[in-house]
Amino acid sequence: MQSAFLATKGLTSQRFDDKLKRIPVTSLLTQDVCLVEVKSKEKNGYNALKLTIGKAKRIDKPTQGQLKKANLQITPKSVKEVRIKGEELDRMSFVEEDGKMVAKIGEAKLSAGQTLSPTVMFKVGDFVDVTGESKGKGFQGGVKRHGFHGGPKTHGQSDRWRAPGSVGATTTPGRTFKGQRMAGRMGSDRVTVAHLQVIEVADDKIIVKGLIPGHPGELL
C-alpha cells in the first residue's frame, strides 16, 4: 500500500479488462508535484514527505521560506505533508547524504527540490487509498441525507411523504438526543476510498480502478 503522493482528480471513464468486462476508471493528474522536505524519525520524530502541487498567483511568507530553502522557484497551490508508516516503510528508507535527508525507494533517491514522477512511487497492480472531499449537496432532508422511507402515502396523508417523523423523547428526558438523524448540510466531507488498484502509471498521471469523491480538479 502506497499513499505518499498528491494529485488532482481527472475525468472518470471506463475500460475493458482481459475478460472484456467493463470497469470504471478514474485518472489522477500528477503534474507539478515537487518535494519540499524529507523528514526522518531520527531528526523530526516521524517519517514524512512534504509535497507541493499545482500553481497559484501568490503564497504566504512561511511557505516562501520553505520553498527557498529547497531551491524551488514555484508558487504552489497546495503544500501537504504525507507521513510514511506501516507497510510503506518496507519500501522506503531515510538516510542523510551531504548534510540533507534523502528518501530511497529501490535505486531511486528523493531529495528536497526534486520534481516527482508517480512512476518512481507506484507500479501497475499496486493498491492505494485515495482521500478527497466529497461533492457538497447543500441542506437536505432526512430522506436524501439518511435514506428515510418517509410517511404513508394513503389514509389522508398529503404533506408528510418526506417528513422525518418524531424526533423527540417525550417528558423524559424531554429533549432531542445529540446525534439524532435529521435534516442538515450534506456532502463536503473528507472521504477515503480504500484499496483501489492501479491500472496505469505515466509521468503525469495515475489511472486507478474505481470511483473517487469530489469534482474534477479536486485535491487528492
CATH number of 33-116, picked from 3.40.50.2000, 3.30.930.10, 3.30.160.810, 1.10.3470.10: 3.30.160.810
How far is it, in rounded angstroms, from Cα 191 to Cα 83? 18
How far is it, in rounded angstroms, from Cα 139 to Cα 184? 5
Residue 1 predicted with pLDDT over 60: no
Domains 1-30+117-148+182-220 and 33-116 share a fold: no
Q: Any residues with CB less than 8 A from the CB of 172 and at least 6 apart, and which?
A: none
Residue 165 predicted with pLDDT over 90: no
User: What pLDDT, on a 0 to 100 scale, did the predictor assign at position 3?
Assistant: 52
**What 3-state DSSP class applies to 220?**
coil
Pull the grid cell for residue 116. 516527482
Mean pLDDT of the region 87-114: 75
Beta strands in the chain (DSSP E): 8-16, 22-29, 34-39, 48-53, 78-83, 92-97, 100-105, 108-110, 127-133, 138-140, 184-186, 190-201, 205-209
How far is it, in rounded angstroms, from Cα 51 to Cα 4? 9
Give domain limits for the chain.
Answer: 1-30+117-148+182-220, 33-116
CATH number of 1-30+117-148+182-220, picked from 3.40.50.720, 3.20.20.70, 3.40.50.2000, 2.40.30.10: 2.40.30.10
User: What pLDDT, on a 0 to 100 scale, did the predictor assign at position 135?
Assistant: 92
Do the Cβ atoms of 129 and 192 come closer than 8 Å?
Answer: yes
DSSP state of 214: S
Q: What is the pTM of this model?
A: 0.78
Mean pLDDT of the region 192-198: 91
How far is it, in rounded angstroms, from Cα 16 to Cα 22? 5
| pLDDT, tens only, 124-151 | 888 988 999 999 999 999 999 999 988 8
